[in-house]
Chain A
Amino acid sequence: DAGITQSPRHKVTETGTPVTLRCHQTENHRYMYWYRQDPGHGLRLIHYSYGVKDTDKGEVSDGYSVSRSKTEDFLLTLESATSSQTSVYFCAISEGDRDDEKLFFGSGTQLSVL
């Protein structure tokens, strides 16, 4: 699993509360990604990072923010969770340089917003 750990694995929260998901990697990969997976939508990119403090938006970034203060950690924050953010969230890394499209995914976080 390329040394990727996501936490928590499961979380239930209420609408309007802030939520932070953590992705930790052990192999100093430069590129890290957050995806969400929903039935009928496949995998959609939320945000990605190309280095410490270097991040950019993906396809579905509204309502999400990210931070990367250390190479090994990439945090995804839902500032005020909504029911539409109920989903499975996956962190991924790509090995090598920017042109290496091979992604390695973590095991995911199941988030339920009630």
Chain B
Amino acid sequence: QQQVKQSPQSLIVQKGGISIINCAYENTAFDYFPWYQQFPGKGPALLIAIRPDVSEKKEGRFTISFNKSAKQFSLHIMDSQPGDSATYFCAANSPGGGADGLTFGKGTHLIIQP
């Protein structure tokens, strides 16, 4: 049972463009939605996160959009740069579940072409 569905699996974007990665979830009890960024040979690193009481969160060029009624959330990377090329994972967590309650999407391999 895949609780968090992530798409696309891979994405190629031109430098300066907008990269968009989407995730959908089923469990309405989820109340924390982080995104992790992973470079080759490294572990994932927390990039940005949102809770369902807001519809959008922005940090620099990275924005999470959250649609509670549709049970969907997405990561937008504005003015995408070659240094943004990485694998991105969305995740969702249950209330009070701690990180052992964290469910990850399968990941999106993003390539930004110069």
Q: Which residues of A contact B89 (CB under 8 A)?
A: 42-43
Scan residues 33-63 of chain B and give those whose CB is less than 8 A from a CB of chain A. 34, 36, 41-46, 49
B114 part of interface (Cβ distance < 8 Å): no
* Chain B nearest Cβ from A39, distance in angstroms: 9
Would B43 and A31 count as touching, CB distance under 8 A? no
A94 part of interface (Cβ distance < 8 Å): yes
Would B44 and A33 count as touching, CB distance under 8 A? no
For chain B, the count of residues having a C-beta within 8 Å of the partner chain is 24
A to B contact number (C-beta, < 8 Å) = 67
Interface stretch, picked from B68-76, B78-86, B100-108, is B100-108
Q: Which residues of A contact B106 (CB under 8 A)?
A: 40-42
Identity of the chain A residue whose Cβ is nearest the Cβ of B42 in the assembled complex: A107
For the side of the interface on A, what is the size category? 20 to 34
Residue among A56, A99, A106, A107 facing the most chain B CB atoms (10 A cut-off) = A99
Task: State the CA gap A90–B89 with chains docked (Å).
Answer: 15
Would A98 and B44 count as touching, CB distance under 8 A? no
A58 part of interface (Cβ distance < 8 Å): yes
B29 part of interface (Cβ distance < 8 Å): no
Kindly identify which residue among B41, B99, B102 contacts A107, using a CB–CB cutoff of 8 Å. Answer: B41
Would B100 and A48 count as touching, CB distance under 8 A? yes
Q: Which residues of A contact B96 (CB under 8 A)?
A: 98-99
Q: Which residues of A contact B19 (CB under 8 A)?
A: none
Task: State the CA gap A44–B100 with chains docked (Å).
Answer: 10
Task: State the CA gap A42–B9 with chains docked (Å).
Answer: 11
Scan residues 50-100 of chain A and give those whose CB is less than 8 A from a CB of chain B. 50, 56, 58, 90, 92, 94, 98-100
Q: Which residues of A contact B49 (CB under 8 A)?
A: 101-102
**Shortest beta-carbon contacts, A-B, top 9:** A105-B43, A42-B106, A98-B98, A43-B104, A42-B104, A94-B99, A48-B100, A101-B93, A42-B107
Query: Which A residues contact B (CB, under 8 angstroms)?
Result: 1, 31, 33, 40-45, 48, 50, 56, 58, 90, 92, 94, 98-108
